[in-house]
């Protein structure tokens, strides 16, 4: 298995933690997030990783090196301008027919090998791992009639469950033909394009541990969970 890690973002939502260091290097306990991620990929059987970099690229490259300290081969793909979350794949040479793609700021005990094998079995060009995320609205929510002049319902700080993309996917190389050259093109663009074309999108549901360390509250939760994350931090 080969994997692509997207590590080119500015981490704007995670400031002030990302003021001087790139988001993938923010520590969880005593290890950087991307350090944990690469070790887990290696343990799952991945032998080569391609890291897409842009913002503070030199710091990420200096920290990870060529991968020898992880026992895995690391290559870098540099974006001259921000290309979002899918277009950077066009810059990488020699990708295999199917490969893992993931954000460099996530924390999960998802079995990457099981995800990959599920994708191969599905014969889909895209497999998306999903997680049920509970979202709490910190306000009283008022339902209003069509005229917008009368209240017809009220919920005090309701909670909703959504099936969200985990930021860990498996892609078939054929999909790269759909991606425009040298243009920002994200996961949302790819999903909407495939749905419009009625292309099969395989879903891999997961209910273990997952956090997208994109916001201060999620980052703080990850550090509060250090004790229960010992199996990830080895």
pLDDT tens figures, 125-169:
999 999 998 888 999 999 999 998 999 999 999 999 999 999 999
- Residue 10: DSSP 8-state: -
Give residues with Cβ within 8 angstroms of 105, minimum separation 6: 7, 9, 11, 14, 23, 24, 26, 33, 34, 212, 213, 214
Q: Can you give the pLDDT at residue 10?
A: 61
Q: What is the CATH number of the domain that holds 121?
A: 3.90.550.10
| Distance in angstroms (rounded) separating the CA atoms of residues 174 and 68 | 31
Q: Can you give the pLDDT at residue 231?
A: 76
Q: Quick one: three-class SS letters along 176-192?
A: HHHCCCCCCCCHHHHHH
pTM of the model: 0.88
Among 16-20, 95-99, 174-178, 188-192, the minimum mean pLDDT is found in: 16-20
User: 68 in a domain, yes or no?
Assistant: yes
* Half-sphere CA count of 234, side-chain side, radius 13 A: 9
User: 156 in a domain, yes or no?
Assistant: no
- Domain extent at residue 211: 2-132+162-233
| Distance in angstroms (rounded) separating the CA atoms of residues 196 and 16 | 39
Token pair 């509060």: residue: 224
Q: Can you give the pLDDT at residue 14?
A: 52
User: 187 in a domain, yes or no?
Assistant: yes
Task: With CA atoms as reference, report the closest residue to 60 among 94, 9, 101.
Answer: 9
Give residues with Cβ within 8 angstroms of 84, minimum separation 6: 184, 185, 186, 187, 189
Share of the chain above pLDDT 90, in %: 63
Task: With CA atoms as reference, report the closest residue to 209 among 27, 8, 3, 28.
Answer: 28
Domain count, the chain: 1
Residue 18 has pLDDT above 60, yes or no: no
The confidence band for 57, taking pLDDT boundaries of 50, 70 and 90, is: confident
Overall average pLDDT of the 57-66 stretch: 91
């Amino acid at each position: 298995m080969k994997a692509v890690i997207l590590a080119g973002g500015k981490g704007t939502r995670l400031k002030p933690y990302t003021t001087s260091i790139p988001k993938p290097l923010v520590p969880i306990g005593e290890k950087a997030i991307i350090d944990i991620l690469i070790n887990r990929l290696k343990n799952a059987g991945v032998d080569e990783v391609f890291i897409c970099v842009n913002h503070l690229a030199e710091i990420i490259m200096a920290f990870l090196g060529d991968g020898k300290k992880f026992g895995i081969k690391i290559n870098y793909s540099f974006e001259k301008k921000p290309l979002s979350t899918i277009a950077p794949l066009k810059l990488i040479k020699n990708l295999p027919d199917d490969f893992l793609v993931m954000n460099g700021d996530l924390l999960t005990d998802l079995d990457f090998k099981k995800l990959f094998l599920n994708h191969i079995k599905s014969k889909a060009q895209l497999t998306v791992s999903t997680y049920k995320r509970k979202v709490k609205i910190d306000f009283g929510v008022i339902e209003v009639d069509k005229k917008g002049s009368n209240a017809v319902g009220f919920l005090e700080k309701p909670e909703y469950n959504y099936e969200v993309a985990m930021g860990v996917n498996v892609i078939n190389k054929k999909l790269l033909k759909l991606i425009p050259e040298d243009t920002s093109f994200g996961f949302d663009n790819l999903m909407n394009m495939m749905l419009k074309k009625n292309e099969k999108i395989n879903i891999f549901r997961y209910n273990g541990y997952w956090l997208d360390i994109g916001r201060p509250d999620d980052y703080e939760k990850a550090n509060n969970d250090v004790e229960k994350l010992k199996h990830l931090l080895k």
